[in-house]
Chain A
């Protein structure tokens, strides 16, 4: 149920981001000529000095040559955009909520108060045992002395006490523990009954009070597990990671697609390709947007870890951090694999309305991997087909992350999947660069597939 909730939350996040993007486009289309001119002129001096600083720092990146220059432009333009800032804020808030809410839930349950009425005498040892049972069950137990059984029953009925211990050998309840309307902690009552019985048994067996104290104070033997970590925590982390992976993969690949489409439709690509090679332009764009994506992801992960530490979440325990880092790696690999095809798709589009049509077939494997992963995580079980998909580059970013979260993969399997994905990426990049080179300069007429793969133009 929790996982379904998180998946829905992810959908809401995407919806918000899309609408922010739409609103911004509409506003731009409406034109805000005058206002912008005024504010921009007044800010001109300030911007100029900042620009010089930027120009100098950019110079260092220029060792990469044109690709670096192109990547730097992508980074500055994207990071400056409102869509990026609002989007990052939304993600951070969502992540904080996903970490803080379960932690709050846990800490509030610690403080369930239980009031226990005592009729007759109850030895300090028995009180100690009941309190111990209570704290193990995350209840705080308070004892109230009742003058008589009658008074105890009245308090029980009025709800002033949760249950009553009579002479240390009997427990009295308002209603049976199985009743759904009962407000008392079932396990507390059951455990208190068991342990009071044990105490009584020790006493009748002839143990001295000192011996009883010794027996009751026995420490449990150490418990060791063969494999470290708490699976359920890693699983929660995994879900958060998968949702972020999906959101960011979709987001940044779409940026690539729209970015390429806009360069083509504004014809700026003609000016750019008059001086740089298509592969440099494409590589710079992929690198720039990729670095923005990675920066955002690192920020989110760092933020998640800091928040987790602040609220004492389980996120920092066991394999959770490892799971997060794996997902970061798979974000990079997934982006590297998918971005080329999105770029190729963008190079075939010239108008905004073509973007949907072209992005849809590419988003299907991403969506499939995402939904399948969430399903596998919530059931806690990965079937054979799922494990196979963890080695297919299209779904590996999701499926392999899930297998890590479920601790169902060996290191060499992980490495194998990474290698397969990198090889797949090389193939994708080669094919996509070929399509891009041919399609991005062809405007007006529909781009024919035959032409893209080496044939002659057919119009």
Chain B
């Protein structure tokens, strides 16, 4: 699990920063910018969700709702009530966190997979409300005219500027997740994942940690949702359905549960596949399903970590073989 959480991290983060800065030079078409930005937005959600799945061992099938709450809080507060942009985003994040606490607290107090049921129900209710509370949300037609974000005089009004904005958030959220996991909290979480009873007996309040990490992961999703709303400037309920929740869960698993860099990988690969299959939209579902099943059956630790382990094993086998040869000669 902690294969990718070592000192190498600093090189990885440096590499990520450099790639983010120079990548736009190589990207020419507007279309690829949009794909990259969507990858960034998904990565933020996936990093947050991976904290929950990979480190607390709990499933959420309602992350579309938290993502959507971020979008709708930002959208409704700025469009209908003329809120300033950044405070609206922070209000959205805090409110989403609070709602997640209300959902998570009762269901995580129980042993077993109650969170998956609660988040599933919650996700569907929120999606229905988005469509039905027309006076606030614009109903099924969606909410239009959401203003673009701006810092001082700089408005993020094209894909390149949004690329830098979104990917700075990706960078920050990954850094935050990495630091959290290498802290006392992170060690406690890993202990909880390893054995709840053992963690409990060492004085870790397991339920408390699980609720906290759930709230945190909902807030990650909310930030990403706000960024999405301000970037696309149009939101509608269909972007936040049950299917999106499954998509992000798939990204976590393909990338590797509990692997930070895997989250980036999973979000990147699967978003790209979705976009590549855009022409043949009906193959979407089937492609995701096959990907999910193959990875789960053969590489349950995720593609990146799984291949890395495979590589390590081969190396070890080679070393053993060489040792044998030496013995013989």
Tell me whether A and B are bound partners: no
Binding site for B on A (CB under 8 A): none
Binding site for A on B (CB under 8 A): none
